[in-house]
Structure 1
Amino acid sequence: MKIMFIGDITAKIGRRVVGKLLPKLRDKYDLDFVIANAENATHGKGLIFNHYELLLDAGIDAITLGNHYDDKNEIRQYIDGAPEILRPYNLKEDYPGVGTALFVSEEGIRVRVTSLLLEAFMNIDVFNPFFAFEKLLNEESASDIHIVDIHGETTAEKLAFGFEFDGRVSAIVGTHTHVQTRDYRILENGTAYITDVGMSGPYNGILGVDKEKVIARMKGERGPFTYDNSDDAIFNAVIIEIDDESGKATNIFPIYQIVKEKDL
């Protein structure tokens, strides 16, 4: 089975580049299933219903979130009717929706997708992701394939999680930092791993944000971050190849593509 995981879709440019490239990439790589982190899809923070529908129309099968899961309050009203969305599984607050779900591919393969928030520097009250995920593995129904999005700041915490659960899931992919790392690999016991998939969004900003706003903030000024809607785009993803019988990963490789504004 071939699964694509798309890095944090950020703002309008991110939505546009996904809509432009994904249909072609699905055909080019003969993809069976597509997952994307979309916690930044609406103006950089959160996900409104219209943008959720737009991403499904683009060809995304499952959507994970992160620390901005609740930044657009309307998600509380629609998430229970949006089975493709996985908010963080290990939230302490009683929040609607689910953090893990079982999908069935057209070929009948059971694909579980789980969204987790890590702890370091995240400033959100969550259950320890290691203990929470161990509990999940012991309680949830079995799947043929299991893909886990670990949304966090630090390389060390992500690597620790990868090594801890190597061999027990098909892939562990990091999100949140918006910069694609080069450490993609198959771990010793057959789990595909990357510290961060990267971002799909404005290319000439700083992590997707208007660079002038970020520079001003670094100089002590205050003001809201904005996102340039007339920029070139970057598209970051990984493709994971998985043995249908064992659920082990056999290959993982990155997609890192720049698209000029005129071509969006």
Structure 2
Amino acid sequence: MRLIFVGDVMGQLGIQTLQTYLPQIKAKWRPQVTIVNGENAANGRGIKEKQFKEILKAGADVITLGNHAFDQSEVQDLLQKNDNLIRPANYPGNAVPGSGVTVKQVNQEHLAVINLQGRAMMNPLDDPFQKAQEIIGALPKETKIFVDFHAEATSEKAALAYYLDGRIDALVGTHTHVQTNDARTLSNGTVFLTDVGMTGDYDGIIGVKSASSVRRFLTQRPTRYELAEHSRMQINYCVVDLSQTNKIQACQINPDQPFI
């Protein structure tokens, strides 16, 4: 089974980038499942029905979220009605809209996609380590498992990957918007990438106009972040092959690394 995972789609430029490149990426790699993190799709904060439909139309099978999951009020209804849109599973309480896991049938196999959120330097959700263990324990034994771990700290992402090594097939981090150069297979067969990167503006700073980000550091005062509407584009993704020997490859398309 082969899957494509695309990093955080940032605003409308991110949607445009996805529409431009995802069909070409899928034609090249021919994945059975395409997963896209869409938690920044609505102007950088959450997702609305418009962006949800646009990402699906561009070629996604499953959309994951993160710390901005509930920033848009209409997402609650979207989560209730669509099992291909999932939010972090470790939100506290029993009345959280939607689910943090979805299972897709791929030929004769099943793939579980799990969305979790870290706690280091982020909102104090429930323990992602315990929640992951609960979800995995409830899945049929032969299920392939992919985890999108939306977290700030590199150490927390690596720690969860090592904790789950051998019990899941792949764990890929999101949230920091910069692709890391550490795609690897752990000792018990789980493949891991600290962060897959983002999709959208190539000339800004992690998806926002560089001037507004620089201004914030210069003045040390609150500054309104602005997203680029017209800019050079980038898309960061990874290709994951799940078989007896799992493999992962990090990929980028941008002006310095054009699509081939």
Please indicate the TM-score interval, normalised by the length of the shorter structure.
over 0.9
CA distance in 2, matches of 1:143, 1:176: 29
Conservation of the 8 A alpha-carbon contact between 1:17 and 1:235? yes
AA in 1 matched with 2:152: E
Conservation of the 8 A alpha-carbon contact between 1:12 and 1:43? yes
CA distance in 1, matches of 2:78, 2:195: 28
Q: Percent identity, aligned pairs only?
A: 31
1:152-176 Cα shifts (integer Å, max 9, x gaps): 1111111111111111111000000
Task: Describe the SS at the equivalent of 1:169.
Answer: coil
Name stretches of at least 5 consecutive residues in structure 1 with no aligned partner: none
Aligned to 1:173: 172
Name stretches of at least 5 consecutive residues in structure 2 with no aligned partner: none
CA distance in 1, matches of 2:189, 2:140: 21
Confirm or deny that 1:256 pairs with 2:244.
Answer: no
Conservation of the 8 A alpha-carbon contact between 1:216 and 1:222? no
Aligned to 2:128: 129
Confirm or deny that 1:217 pairs with 2:213.
Answer: no
Aligned to 2:159: 160
CA distance in 2, matches of 1:225, 1:255: 27
Confirm or deny that 1:100 pairs with 2:96.
Answer: no
CA-based RMSD: 1.6
Task: Describe the SS at the equivalent of 2:22.
Answer: helix
Conservation of the 8 A alpha-carbon contact between 1:17 and 1:233? yes
CA distance in 2, matches of 1:78, 1:190: 35
Aligned to 2:194: 195
Conservation of the 8 A alpha-carbon contact between 2:78 and 2:85? no
Conservation of the 8 A alpha-carbon contact between 1:64 and 1:115? yes
Confirm or deny that 1:87 pairs with 2:74.
Answer: no
Conservation of the 8 A alpha-carbon contact between 1:92 and 1:125? no
CA distance in 2, matches of 1:88, 1:146: 15
What is the deviation of 1:143? 4.8
What is the deviation of 1:125? 3.2
CA distance in 2, matches of 1:108, 1:215: 51
AA in 2 matched with 1:110: H
What is the deviation of 1:100? 0.6
CA distance in 1, matches of 2:108, 2:255: 35
CA distance in 1, matches of 2:56, 2:193: 24
Conservation of the 8 A alpha-carbon contact between 1:91 and 1:125? no
Conservation of the 8 A alpha-carbon contact between 2:102 and 2:112? yes
Matched residue count = 255
What is the deviation of 1:242? 1.1
Aligned to 1:111: 111
1:211-242 Cα shifts (integer Å, max 9, x gaps): 11111111223332110110111100000111
